[in-house]
Every structure is written in C-alpha cells, then in structure tokens.
Chain A
C-alpha cells in the first residue's frame, strides 16, 4: 500500500500555550517498504503514527492512504481476560467471521509467532517478548496493508529484542507488508529499515533521510550496521543535545 503524508503539522495545547509536535512533515512510503522513524523522545514520532492511523486529526496537511492499517504499541495491550488464542482471534470475532475459520487463522498465526504451545495460556503467563509476539499475531491476523509499530520492543530485554528483530524481518519478507516502525534506538532502526528518517527535536521535522542498502536478514552486531549507526548517531546527537538544553532551561525557569 502506498502512503503519502503531505506537509503535516500538529500542535498540542499545554497549560497556556501551544506546543508544536510536528512541523511540515512529508513522507512518501511505497508498498512493501520498511521505514524507521528515528528521533529523540518527544519529537512527535508517535503523534505521526497516530495521525496516520486516524486516531487523531492533523492541524494542517493531508494524508493519503488506502487499505487497512494495524497499529502496535510499546505495551502489548493484550486483554488479560482472554486466552492467548482468543486475544489473537479477537479482531476476526468482532468481524463475525465463522468460528472454524477463526480457529484455523489463529493456529496459523500462533505457529508463525512460535506461540502454538501457549494458545490456552492467559497473557500474564507469557514473558514480555511472547506478549509482543502475541500482539503482533493479533494485529497481523486482520491482514493490514500497513503495519504501524510504536516502539514495540522498547520495554524488552536485549536478547529478546534481538531475536524479535530476526523474526520481524522474516515476517516482513514473507508477508510483504508495508511497515512504519518508530524507535529512538539507532541500531534498531538501521537493523530493520530500508530507510531511516531522522527527526529533529520538537517540533518534529524530518532532518535527514538515510537509505540502508544492506542485505537481509541483518543482525544488530553486523559491522555495516554499526558503521551506519555511528553516522546516524552524529546527526541525532545534535537533536538530543537540544532536548537536554531545553530541559535544563525549563528547570532554570522553574527555579527562578
């Protein structure tokens, strides 16, 4: 699915004044592309995802997209009252799909995510990585054309995360989904993305685009990944410093 974001701006109301979250952001995503949005915390990356998902409306600009959208959060957000298989089948059940058909699909996606053994478990019995895999299965089963992922691995430990990078690349290659992946982790972005869009500090703008032409599957510790990451880090560091300066400034004002 092709996605076009044209000159999007968005402001939020904070106490007395408006704070710009996004400023004139444009993005063109081709079908089957894997895009990573990279930027310091609070730069509006998540806001952009919410706008694309249609959960919020932009103040200015337009978004063109066709087809179904799936969104994944930093938290798995599985429903604790449902078994894993019922969580995964939830969306289909809401669409009133026939039960045998749901069961078949659930089996397929659970085995794709290596969760077949946990079909009957409740979410609290899963580890963090398994929860995110279940959440991914729950999103993918609805067959979205565009998959939006908002720092989905940020809360996981390093080993689990590395395994999931491999899984995600494999699934992406198999299903040919278009993916937009938000992160503040440079290596993660380079490891996963065809393109990495580096954002400025608030209000978020796209500062620079990096095309990553490395063969897949990539590994977090590949030398090439590390090299490109360093390059991008230079770019990003400026923005992180800006955020730090702004925070220090804010603190000073509060103390005055």
Chain B
C-alpha cells in the first residue's frame, strides 16, 4: 500500500468515526429529553455497561462460542455439500434438470420454515438448530457454485488443455482458480444466510447462544441487554463480512485486476 492509499484510508476511517460519534450523541440526547421512558430506551452508558458486564461474567462469551460452533458445523456442512452438488449441477445435465429444479424450489422457502419440521424430527436440541442453519445456506451455496462453474470462460479451459493439462490437474490448476472470485462472493452470501437462519432459530426456542440472550433480555424487560446483544451480533457480522470475507475477496479481485 502506498502512502497516498494509507492517507485516503485514514481519512475514510476518521469520517466513519465522526459519524458514529454523531449517532451516539443523538442517542444520548433522545435519552436525555426523555423522549421514550428510560426502561424502553436506555442511555448509551447503560448499554455499554451491560456489554462490559456481559463479557466480564462470560455470558456473552459463551453465547458467542455456542452460536459460532453451530454456525461452523452447519455452514461448514452446507459449504462442502452445497459446493459439491453445485459442481455436479453445472456439469451433469440430468442432475441439473432434476436436482437443480428441486434446489431452486427449496431456495424460495425461508429457512425458519424448516424449524417445525426440525423440531419434530430431532427434538428440542442442537441437531434441530444446526439443521435449520444447513437448510438456510445450502441452497444458496449450491446455486453460487453452479453459476460460478457455468461462467468459467471456456477460453481458460481451452488454454489449459492446449498446455497439456487434463483431469484432476485441470480442476486444481484451472477450474478452481478460475471460479475463485465468484466462489468467494458465494461463500460470503451463504455465510450471511446461515448467520440469519441461526439467529432466528435461536430466538424461537430455548437453546443458549446469542439469540437466546436476546430473548432473555426481552423476557426480563432489560432493554439494555437487548441492545447490547444486538451490538454483539452486528459486530460479529461486520467481522466476518468486512474483515474475513472482504479481505479475501479484495485480494483475489486485485490480483485479477477486477478492482
């Protein structure tokens, strides 16, 4: 990164921080003039305190760990199986006409609609929630992989073949790197589907995790806990979306000259 780049990035960051401080100020003012009663609309300070307390007594940390575990298991499974099925959809016509049709249909079903079925099949437990996470993201992963493979420029394949590449080598050294940019975008999207499914699932029945912490806040009429947990959920979202996937996406796109 050049000096100019750093300067520009720094400027952008400062603008963002000022904007956030401005929002905090408005929040604080609304609290100060008692626009809403304090138990419905806590001050930034109260929420911040709850946040610190939540981390200090480890409730939030456990909540995050439990939710993350479900997310990694569920989304990991969806990623592997979805990519594999997506690849088959792109390559095998008969599978595309049958399974592809099914995937498109199921994709329209909001993931939380799988919850009743999951509860009856697996009971009120971990399996049910992981099932919902899988169903929430697997179709999107499948479709992303299918379109990534279908959109490989045929020229790359021809060039690869002309340079003597065949079979498994062709997959590892040409097809896989060729789909990487759209595949990473697909993973990012699949992840956000999984994350949303997980949160809605966790809120609907008692099973620990961040979603439940949010609902506990509601049941105790503790608005500052509700808001603190929402902030945690947003932060996790940003960390994955912007930092992890964003950095991966940018580095690939820069290499390709797409940016």
Interface set of A (CB-CB < 8 Å, partner B): 53, 55, 70-71, 73, 75, 77-82, 90-91, 94-95, 122-125, 138-139, 142
Contact = CB atoms under 8 A, between A and B. Distances in A.
B123 interface: no
30 contacts: A53-B162, A55-B161, A70-B162, A71-B162, A73-B155, A73-B158, A73-B159, A75-B155, A77-B158, A79-B174, A79-B177, A79-B178, A80-B257, A81-B177, A81-B178, A81-B180, A82-B177, A90-B163, A91-B163, A91-B164, A94-B163, A94-B165, A94-B169, A95-B164, A122-B257, A125-B257, A138-B163, A139-B163, A142-B163, A142-B164
Contacts of B252: 81
Interface of B: 155-156, 158-159, 161-165, 169, 173-174, 177-178, 180, 252, 255-257
A95 B165 CA distance: 9
A123 to B, nearest CB: 7
Contacts of A138: 163
Question: Ordered nearest first, which 10 A-B pairs have the shortest CB separation?
Answer: A124-B257, A77-B159, A91-B163, A81-B177, A80-B256, A77-B155, A71-B162, A94-B165, A94-B164, A122-B255
Contacts of A73: 155, 158-159
A78 B174 CA distance: 11
A89 B68 CA distance: 42
B156 A79 contact: yes
Interface core residue of A70, A71, A77, A142 (most chain B CB under 10 Å): A77
Nearest to A96: B169
Nearest to A93: B173
Contacts of A79: 156, 159, 174, 177-178
Contacts of A142: 163-164
B225 to A, nearest CB: 47
A170 B161 CA distance: 28
Contacts of B177: 79, 81-82
Contacts of B158: 55, 73, 77
Contacts of B169: 94
Contact of A81 (B162, B165, B256): B256
A94 B155 contact: no
A123 B257 contact: yes
Contacts of B255: 80-81, 122
Contacts of B178: 79, 81
A150 to B, nearest CB: 11
A217 to B, nearest CB: 28
B108 to A, nearest CB: 34
A125 B256 CA distance: 9
B1 to A, nearest CB: 16
Given A77-B159, A79-B156, A124 B256 contact: yes
Contacts of B180: 81
Contacts of A78: 159
A78 to B, nearest CB: 8
A94 B120 CA distance: 52
Scoring B155, B159, B161, B173 by chain A CB atoms within 10 A of each residue's CB, the highest score goes to: B159
Most buried by B among A55, A73, A90, A142: A90
